[in-house]
Amino acid sequence: MPNRLAAETSPYLRQHAENPVDWWAWGEPALTAAREHNKPILLSIGYSACHWCHVMAHESFEDATTAAVMNDLYINIKVDREERPDLDKIYQLAHQALTQRGGGWPLTVFLTPDDHLPFYAGTYFPKEPRYGMPPFVHVLQQVRAFWDQRRSEVRSQNAALAEFLAAHGSGAPAIETMTDAPIRAALAQSERSFDPIHGGHAGAPKFPHCTEMELLLDMNSPGMVELTLRRMADGGIHDQLGGGFCRYSVDERWEIPHFEKMLYDNAQLLPLYARCAAESDALVAHELIAWLLREMTASSGGFYSALDADSEHEEGKFYVWQRDEVHSLLTAEEFVVVELHYGFDRPPNFEHTAWNPIIAIPLDAVAASVGIALDQAIARLAQARKKLFAARSVRVRPGLDDKILTSWNALMIAGLARASRWLDASALMGLAENALGFLYNAAWRDGRLYASASADTAKFPAYLDDYAFLLDALIESLQCRWSERDLAWAIALADALLERFEDRDRGGFFFTTHDHETLIQRPKPWADEAVPSGNGIAARALLRLGHLLGETRYLDAAERTLRAAYSTIQQMPLGCTSLLRALNDFLHPRTHVVIRAADGTEAASWKDALRDVAEDVADVYLIPPDVGVLPGILAAQTHRAGGIAFVCRGTNCLPPIGEPDKLTLS
């Protein structure tokens, strides 16, 4: 019989609806039950594409004996960390404080029933003792005995933990002059940790640190980025047949990933590949877009969240191959190319039993090796890929997490907008427009944003990341085409950041609104994680919008954020690269170019002149003359016959420029 999770909107929670565990979703009914029964809470946090979450579910949560112990001793609450990142941030930090090591998923935390402070924490626990860990049932029994028999010690520990959580991230704002010293420190740190052979940070596992790569490109250090992107594209973290990237690689060569594909990783990688203008990088970007359109785009226009790592209870089964299977699907001529190019002539690289395709030998070297022309090798590979992709498509597919999350959609919208400019592919804005339209109609209701939306429901008041990432996406989209609706929306989001999220005493933005549910901590996150820091993106977006509109409230809020974060930036610069990008924009304001020109010949002339303007140093907006009343300093930037350009760097503006061939940024 299904438990309470059957009625939830989260695919991850519904995956546990048939468990014999008496699961609750986080909310007042569950918390009330814990208080009334005086039972500790077992809080389990995970997400649908998480491999070890599935392992623990199959081993323990689907086991009747384990479930009986859980039900007897605890109120069991299951949380989707993608729907409730507020809870995840808090309890990951608490886990770190309790265990003195990093967390992860599944996160398993035991809470007191009255104040919800954790008194024991871990991640994955096996059903049977292994990996040096005790069996889960033993943990359940021992933790409950500790609660029952040593209550005063629990309370004492919780008091110290509460004090730590309250003090975390609440340091005084910087009063000294902010400099680029943290940026220089981050660049030096990045160079020291760089793997000169495989790219990325040395060692394993390897993650795509996208905000770090963006900072390196901002600071004119493209070499490490280009090598990293090339090695990633050649590796098994990149789906060689279907496009798109998996979450991370377990080895130093980018060869074997955990096979989940997350929207947010691909959203951040897309503009990086588009920005590195080599032909091979553009091809990777276009294949990623094809994957996005084929597998991750809802009929509503929004983008789904993730594809699972597992299918048929095996990680990677959908993606890996047997050599004989590949051989049987291809002609002899095709196989000789594929075998060398994708590494099927080498020992199996996945679990010693199967092959995950990589670019083992470049295609020109393959052609030379087998004695054919390069164009023949290209044609054979293209035909072979079609056959292999078709064969793979009939396999049991990994699960799809079809949640549409505002923050992750905003990351992809911004990525598409930037890619459309770097690749000179205006059609990409159609995808971005559709997603923006969906969010406007489904997630933006009565002047408030929601974190998760479908055509008929919007759930969870939005978090800092939702507002900040969407504001950034709108600024990027406005540079591709002007929209009065989107400008008004951007202003509303910026105002909401200041009114509902800002720490008015110390600066920076809390992760939750001022009227959010009261939890054991109110995070104010500075560091980048798998997604960029909401504070970093907010600060940078407010600087850009503030300079565009001449709105000092936004500029001042951005400066307060940087001052509040400055001590953390100094302590861990490479962990705060989104904030460092904002700091760079604060110290060296970006150039803003506003062009008032009519569609047609007028606009075309200015667009031609703009081809030599580097996007990495300038924001460019082309505003038609028939736009209604514009806010701030935009109102003074009127149209004239032939068009006119207004160029400002920070608060310093050049005289208006009336001819495209005289357009200059200095």
For residues 169-189, average pLDDT: 90
Same domain, 337 and 376: yes
Do residue 305 and residue 273 come from a single domain? yes
Specify whether 146 is located in the same domain as 213: no
Instruction: Based on the fold, state whether residues 163 and 186 are members of the same structural domain.
Output: no
pLDDT-derived band of residue 277, with 50, 70 and 90 as boundaries? low
In this structure, what are the phi and psi dihedrals at residue 21, rounded to the nearest 5 degrees?
Answer: -70, 140
Residue with the larger pLDDT of the pair 628 and 156: 156
Are 489 and 545 in contact by the 8 Å Cβ rule? The answer is: no
Residue 517 lies in a domain: no
Task: Kindly tell me if the per-residue pLDDT of 278 is higher than 70.
Answer: no
Angstrom distance (rounded) from CA 1 to CA 213: 49
Backbone φ and ψ of 584, nearest 5° = -60, -40
- Written as six digits, the tokens of 98 are 């309790």
CA atoms of 641 and 643, how far apart (whole Å): 5
Q: What residues pair up with 44 in beta bridges, in sequence order?
A: 78, 108
User: What percent of the chain has pLDDT above 90?
Assistant: 86
Give the other-Cβ count within 10 Å of 113's Cβ.
19
Whether 613 is covered by a domain: the verdict is: yes
Q: Is the pLDDT of residue 510 over 70?
A: yes
pLDDT at residue 246 above 80? yes
Candidates 302, 313, 469, 294; CA nearest to 402 is 302
Containing 37, the helix (H) or strand (E) segment is: helix 28-37
The mean per-residue pLDDT over the stretch 365-372 comes to: 96
Q: Are 95 and 109 in contact (CB under 8 A)?
A: yes
Adjacency order of strands within the sheet including 75-80: 23-25, 75-80, 41-46, 107-111, 118-122
Instruction: Tell me whether residue 176 is in a domain.
Output: no
CA dihedral 625, 628, 632, 638 (to 10 degrees): 20
Is 552 buried (19+), middle (13-18) or exposed (0-12) by CB count in 10 A? exposed
The pLDDT of residue 602 is above 90 = no
Neighbouring CB atoms inside 10 A of 559's CB total 19
Rg (alpha carbons) of the chain, rounded to whole number? 26
Closest CA relative to residue 491, chosen from 475, 508, 510: 475
Task: Return d(Cα 662, Cα 659) in angstroms, integer.
Answer: 6
Q: How confident is the model at residue 174 (pLDDT cuts 50, 70, 90)?
A: confident
Q: What is the DSSP letter of 501?
A: I
In the chain the first and final C-alpha atoms are separated, in Å, by 70
- Token digits for 467? 């507002």
Residue 462 contacts residue 451 (beta carbons within 8 Å): yes
Average pLDDT, the chain: 94
Q: Which of 367, 401, 435 is the last residue of a domain?
A: 401
pLDDT score for 382: 97
629 pLDDT tier (thresholds 50, 70, 90): confident
- Do 344 and 368 lie in one domain? The reply is yes
In Å, what is the CA distance from 557 to each residue of 494, 499, 538, 563? 10, 11, 9, 10
Do 162 and 77 fall within a single domain?
yes
Percent of the chain with pLDDT over 70: 99
Residue 256: inside a domain: yes
pLDDT tens digits, 337-353: 999 999 999 999 999 99
Q: Tell which wins on pLDDT, 599 or 539.
A: 539
Average pLDDT, integer, range 598-626:
83
pLDDT, residue 66, reads 97
533 is a domain residue: no
Three-state secondary structure along 403-446? CCEHHHHHHHHHHHHHHHHHCCCCCHHHHHHHHHHHHHHHCEEC
Question: Among 347, 381, 401, where does a domain finish?
Answer: 401
Confidence (pLDDT) at 280: 73
The tokens for 519 are 């939890």
356/394 Cα distance (integer angstroms): 18
CA quadruple 352, 358, 363, 364: dihedral sign = negative
Whether residues 42 and 117 fall in one domain: yes
C-alpha 136/C-alpha 128 separation (Å) is 7
Lowest mean pLDDT among 172-181, 520-529, 578-587: 172-181
Residues 655 and 613 in one domain: yes
With b for 16 or more beta-carbon neighbours within 10 A and e for fewer, the 607-645 pattern comes to: eebbeeeeeeebbbbbbbeeeeebebbbeebebeeebbb
Angle between helices 484-496 and 534-549 (to 10 degrees): 120
What is the band of 650 on the pLDDT scale with cuts at 50, 70, 90? confident
Burial class (CB in 10 A: 0-12, 13-18, 19+), 205: middle
pLDDT the model gives residue 615: 58
pLDDT of residue 191: 97
Confidence of residue 1 (pLDDT cuts 50, 70, 90): confident
Q: Verify that 185 and 47 share a domain, yes or no.
A: no
Q: Which of 140, 167, 194 is the last residue of a domain?
A: 167
Query: For residues 238 and 253, is the Cβ–Cβ distance under 8 A?
Result: no
pLDDT (tens digit, 9 = 90+) per residue, 97-123?
999 998 999 999 999 999 999 999 999
Report the length, in residues, of the chain: 666
Distance CA 509, CA 579 (A): 12
Q: What is the pLDDT of residues 23-66, one digit of tens each?
A: 999 999 999 999 999 999 999 999 999 989 999 999 999 999 99
Q: How far apart are CA 201 and CA 207, in angstroms?
A: 8
- Residue 612 binned pLDDT confidence (cut-offs 50, 70, 90): low
Lowest mean pLDDT among 251-265, 270-284, 488-502, 550-564: 270-284
Asked whether residue 574 is domain-assigned, the answer is no
Per the structure, the complete domain to which residue 118 belongs is given by: 4-167
Which CATH number does the domain housing residue 61 bear? 3.40.30.10
Q: Are strands 306-307 and 400-401 parallel, antiparallel or unpaired?
A: antiparallel
560 touches 508 (CB < 8 A): yes
The pLDDT score that the predictor gives to residue 632 is 86
C-alpha distances in angstroms, 654 versus 122, 273, 551, 657?
A: 58, 33, 19, 8
Same domain flag for 149 and 39? yes
Residues 150 and 219 in one domain: no
- Is 158 a domain residue? yes
Spell out the long-range contacts of 185-188 with Cβ–Cβ below 8 A and sequence spacing 24 or more.
185/570, 185/573, 186/212, 186/215, 186/573, 186/574, 186/576, 186/577, 186/580, 187/215, 187/216, 187/219, 187/221
Q: How many domains does the chain have?
A: 3
d(CA 562, CA 579): 7
Specify whether 120 is located in the same domain as 261: no
439-459 confidence digits (pLDDT tens) = 999 999 999 999 999 878 899
The whole-number pLDDT of residue 562 equals 98
Q: Is the pLDDT of residue 2 over 90?
A: no
- Answer whether residue 455 is part of any domain: no
Amino acid code (one letter) for 128: E
Residues 608 and 14: their CA atoms lie apart, in Å, by 52
DSSP state of 500: I
Residue 259's identity, in one-letter code, is F
